[in-house]
Amino acid sequence: MPNRLADEPSPYLLQHCDNPVDWYPWGDEAFARARSEDLPIFLSIGYSTCHWCHVMEHESFENDDIAGVLNGSFVPVKVDREERPDVDRVYMAFVQATTGSGGWPMSVWLTPELKPFYGGTYFPPSARGGRPGFVEILTEIARRWRESRAELAASADGVMERLREVQQNRRPSGGSMPDDGRLAGGVREYARVFDARAGGFGGAPKFPRPAELLFLLREHARTGDVEAQHMVLETLRAMAIGGMRDHVGGGFHRYSVDAGWRVPHFEKMLYDQAQLAIAFLEAAQASGEPSFAEVAHDTLAYVRRDLRHPGGGFFSAEDADSLPPDGGAPPTGGAAAKREGAFYVWAQPEIEALFGEDADVVRFRYGIEPDGNAPQDPHGEFTGKNLLYVARGVDDAARLSGRSLESVMAVLDGARPRLFAARGGRPRPSLDDKVLAGWNGLMIAAFARAARLTPLGGTAPPDPLETAGGAARFLRDHLWDAERGVLRRRFRDGRAGIDGYAEDYACVVWGLLELFQAGGDPAWLDWAKQLHAAQSRLFRDGADGGWFSTSGDDSSVLLRLKEDYDGAEPSAASVTAWNLLSLAHLSGAAEAAAYRDQLEQTLRRVPASAQLARVVPMMMAAASAWRAGVPQVILLGPRGAPGTAALHRVFTECFLPGAVSLVVEPGAHQAAVAARLPWIESMRMLDGRPTAHLCRDHACEHPETDPEAFRARLAALTRPRPDRS
């Protein structure tokens, strides 16, 4: 019989609804039972595309004997960390403080008052590889709960008090704005750990953290630092040709197991696609190399094809695991089992059968070997299999295959669609089809940025502006509770739920500001300001500055944390700093002053340490843009006019990462925009021709109608600026 999770909308919880474990969702029913029966809570936190979550489920939660121990001595509770990051953060802080590391699945034991007293991550069913066994841990904790409950409760009280003290001690004491020295020191910190051979920072495993690249690009733009740009371009080149990129279907996997970007952890997350697309687009602008933009557009095409809700929003992720094409029974026999990466890897005979006499070209290009090509495969998951990566250039593939360059290029041009069609016959990884507000905000920002950087009259198919606008309308229609003035976090299967967190508001505002600048619809600016006002009301710390992750209304969340670290997803505080920087230049004078005050208070919270660039790179990117100054670029003219397109093309070819920009059409559109941005009202086209107005702090220079003269004006802005302190 299904357990209580069968009625939950979360795909992760539904994965466990047929477990013999008597799971509860996080909520009052579970807490009441723990209190009434005086039982500890076993809290398991994960997400639907988590490989090791699947492993622990198959090994332990589907085991009747283990389920019997869990059900008899504990109240088992399941949480989807993507739906409830507030719960996840509290207990992750505990696990990291007590074990020195963290991850998912996360396993935590709580008192009936929800205070943690023991925790860890993945546990095998019985002791192996230096890890204690799950059954042994359950048995020992149950014994200690019976025999020394007061000791466990005292331990839980002590840990919670220490966590509260840590949070209190993080309060700033009136810091200064980040100066040139701290920003330059941040670049040096990245240079110190840069992998000059393989790109990226540090060793294996390598996680994409695009906020780092955005910071370095802004410092390159602000100061002319060539090394900062070099680190970004080399990292993105390595990622673009490596195995972490899906060379058949587009998009990027979660991270690289090895230091060379060769062997991925195969899940695909929406937030990675969004941030990487923006990083590649900015790299294309900064370098003038169109190959970076091609990777960005390829990534966006994957998202639109495979992760788009029919109504316009975006789904969350695709799993790492899937059934092998051959049915793949596990080594011990039994039913077919899902394996990590099964959808994505290839055996050499498959390539030979698919391409015949052209197979050598494909093998040389993508590094395919008879016995497989995974350089680090400790569990033997990819024995005899190949993970596609760009192993050789076209010239080398021609030389090794004895074919002409033209012949090789013709084969490779047709290889991807043939591989895609063949792979389409395999069992697909499962799709996490919930729509999360914050992740959708990031994706709206990415599509809108692509639209902003696409010359008018041209397109990067599929149309990024239409896609971004469709997603924004989806969020407004399904996740915005206008009556309460509250953004909801999750939509799935026709149901919206869970009041949004600070990161939801911040990321959706970012997406809307990018969308307004891309398409010019003032409604998106209005909603962005409305959402930012709600974020300030619900999450801003008026006394000490910064942004709490939660509103503090849910008493089951024991700590109200400020999450400053920019991890796989940027923090709410960092994204908000970006938003405030834009809002201050997309408002009238009075509003702009209020936004600037919030921005400066947010930036002053950053401790005076260059090492912080590796902790809060997104915040440091905002600080870099603030120090560089924010130009305002207004192109006044009909969108379809060749003259407008020519001016816009010049702007897209110039790397001004902090600039706010708009194409404004004379007449009704200009009047509507000027109602929000009064300084635009007096702008005019010169001699009836599309005109570029270049401004700083709402003070504008002489307008230009000639694209080359406009280019010269922009070039002056890109020169390194002296210290503004």
Residue 331 confidence (pLDDT) above 90: no
Residue 102 pLDDT exceeds 60: yes
pLDDT surpasses 80 at 719: no
Q: Which one is predicted more confidently, 564 or 391?
A: 391
The pLDDT of residue 365 is above 70: yes
How does DSSP assign 665-682, residue by residue? -TTHHHHHHHTT-GGGTT
**Burial (CB count within 10 angstroms: exposed 0-12, middle 13-18, buried 19+), residue 370:** exposed
Count the helices and strands in the chain (H runs, E runs).
26, 20
- Tell me, rounded to whole angstroms, the distance of Cα 389 from its chain centroid: 23
Query: Which helix or strand (DSSP H or E) is residue 108 part of?
Result: strand 106-110
Instruction: Please give the pLDDT value at position 605.
Output: 86
**What mean pLDDT do residues 564-579 have?**
95
Which tokens belong to 490? 């999750």
Cross-strand bridge partners of residue 25:
78
Query: In a 3-state reduction of DSSP, which class is residue 610?
Result: helix
| Radius of gyration in angstroms for the set of CA atoms belonging to the chain, rounded to a whole number | 27
Burial class (CB in 10 A: 0-12, 13-18, 19+), 349: exposed
* Average pLDDT estimate for 544-569: 92
Question: How large is the average pLDDT for residues 644-659?
Answer: 94
DSSP class of residue 177 equals P
Averaged pLDDT, 235-255: 98
Report in angstroms the alpha-carbon separations of 675 from 6, 469, 509, 532: 50, 22, 20, 19
Q: Give the single-character DSSP code of 636.
A: E
76 Cβ contact partners less than 8 Å away, ≥ 6 residues apart: 21, 22, 23, 24, 41, 42, 44, 70
Structure tokens at 123: 């546990």
Average pLDDT over residues 696-709: 89
111: left (phi over 0), alpha (psi -120 to 50) or beta: beta
Position 672 pLDDT exceeds 90: yes
Torsion-angle region of residue 348: left (phi > 0), alpha (psi -120 to 50) or beta?
A: alpha
Q: How far is Cα 312 from Cα 443, in angstroms, rounded to an integer?
A: 12
Q: What is the per-residue pLDDT for 298?
A: 96
Predicted local confidence at residue 332, as pLDDT: 42
pLDDT value at 638 more than 80: yes
Q: Name the range with the highest mean pLDDT among 335-339, 446-450, 677-681.
A: 446-450
* Confidence band of 720 (pLDDT split at 50, 70, 90): low
386 alpha carbon, distance to own chain's centre: 27
The answer for 27, left when phi > 0, alpha when psi is -120 to 50, beta otherwise, is left
Token pair recorded at residue 198: 């393989």
- Side chain identity, residue 576: T
Mean of pLDDT values over 185-193 = 96
Mean per-residue pLDDT for 534-557? 93
Distance of alpha carbon 656 from alpha carbon 658, whole angstroms = 6
Give per-residue pLDDT as tens, 339-351: 999 999 999 999 9
User: Would you list the DSSP string of 287-349?
Assistant: H--HHHHHHHHHHHHHHHHHSB-TTS-B--EE-SEE--TT----TT-SS---EETTTT-B-HH
pLDDT value of position 1:
78
> Pairing relation of β-strands 41-46 and 75-80?
parallel
Cα–Cα distance between 303 and 467 in angstroms, integer? Answer: 10
Q: Answer whether residue 60 shows pLDDT above 70.
A: yes
Amino acid at residue number 447: F
Q: What is the 3-state secondary structure (H, E, C) of 374-431?
A: CCCCCCCCCCCCECCCCCCCHHHHHHHHCCCHHHHHHHHHHHHHHHHHHHCCCCCCCE
C-alpha–C-alpha distance, residues 443 and 462, integer Å? 14
Averaged pLDDT for residues 691-696: 93
Residue 64 phi, psi dihedral angles, 5° rounding: -60, -40
Average pLDDT over residues 17-33: 98
pLDDT for residue 610: 64
CA atoms within 13 A on the CB side of 688: 0
DSSP, collapsed to helix, strand or coil, labels residue 662 as: strand
Choose the CATH number for 629-725 among 3.30.930.10, 3.40.50.720, 3.40.30.10, 3.40.50.2020: 3.40.30.10
Residues near 356 by Cβ (< 8 Å), separated by ≥ 6? none
Q: Where are the alpha helices (DSSP H) in 520-616?
A: 522-539, 572-583, 589-604
| pTM for the full predicted model | 0.95
Sequence-distant (≥ 6) Cβ neighbours of residue 193 within 8 angstroms: 201, 202, 614
- Cα–Cα distance for residue pair 638/632, rounded to 1 Å: 19
* Average pLDDT of the residues in 257-270: 95
Beta strand pairing call for 486-492 and 435-436: antiparallel
pLDDT band at 336 (very low <50, low <70, confident <90, very high): low
248-271 average pLDDT score? 96
The CATH superfamily label for domain 4-169 reads: Glutaredoxin (3.40.30.10)
Confidence band for 382, pLDDT divided at 50, 70 and 90: confident
- Give the Å distances, CA to CA, from 624 to 182, 201, 219, 658: 10, 20, 6, 9
Q: Which two tokens stand for residue 693?
A: 């107005």
Strand order across the 24-25 sheet: 24-25, 75-80, 41-46, 106-110, 116-120
Assess whether pLDDT exceeds 60 at residue 721. no
Q: Residue 576 in contact with residue 506, Cβ under 8 Å? A: yes
Where does residue 688 rank: exposed (0-12), middle (13-18), buried (19+ CB within 10 A)?
exposed
Q: Lowest-confidence range among 166-180, 485-499, 520-534, 621-635?
A: 166-180
Domain with CATH 3.40.30.10 in the chain: 4-169, 629-725
Q: Round the average pLDDT of the chain to a whole number and report it.
A: 93
Task: DSSP for 472-505, please give it.
Answer: HHHHHHHTEETTTTEEEEEEETTEEEEE--HHHH
Q: Which of 40, 19, 43 is nearest to 139 (CA)?
A: 40
The b-or-e profile of 423-441 (16+ CB within 10 A means b, else e) is: beeeeebbbbbbbbbbbbb
Q: Judging by beta carbons within 10 Å of its beta carbon (0-12, 13-18, 19+), is residue 86 exposed, middle or buried? A: buried
Query: Which residue bears the tokens 């080359």?
Result: 708
- Greater confidence (366 vs 589) lies with 366
